[in-house]
Amino acid sequence: MGNFNYWKRLKDTFVQVNVSVYPLHVERQLKKWKKRGERKRAWLKPQQAAVLVDEPALVSLLDSIAV
């Protein structure tokens, strides 16, 4: 679907990360998964997700996806 770059903060530095975004077909989801206490999961349209993210390049990518 596309790519975007962002600066990831590590403990003592920043590194540039290249992210590739792919479509995903989901048939089922687990009720329990590793790190579920650290993450939230929601099914959103791309335009809804764009409002919630902080990375401008990801916002542009999400806005470009037609649903």
Provide the pLDDT confidence category of residue 66 given band limits of 50, 70 and 90.
low
- For residue 27, give the DSSP letter: S
pLDDT in tens, 10-65: 999 999 999 999 988 999 999 898 999 998 889 999 999 999 998 899 999 999 98
2 dihedral zone (left: phi>0; alpha: psi -120 to 50; beta): left
**Under a CB-based contact definition with an 8 Å cutoff, are residues 67 and 46 in contact?**
yes
**Under a CB-based contact definition with an 8 Å cutoff, are residues 67 and 47 in contact?**
yes
Q: Round to whole Å and give the CA distance between 34 and 32.
A: 7
pLDDT at position 27 is 94
- Could you tell me the pTM of the whole model? 0.72
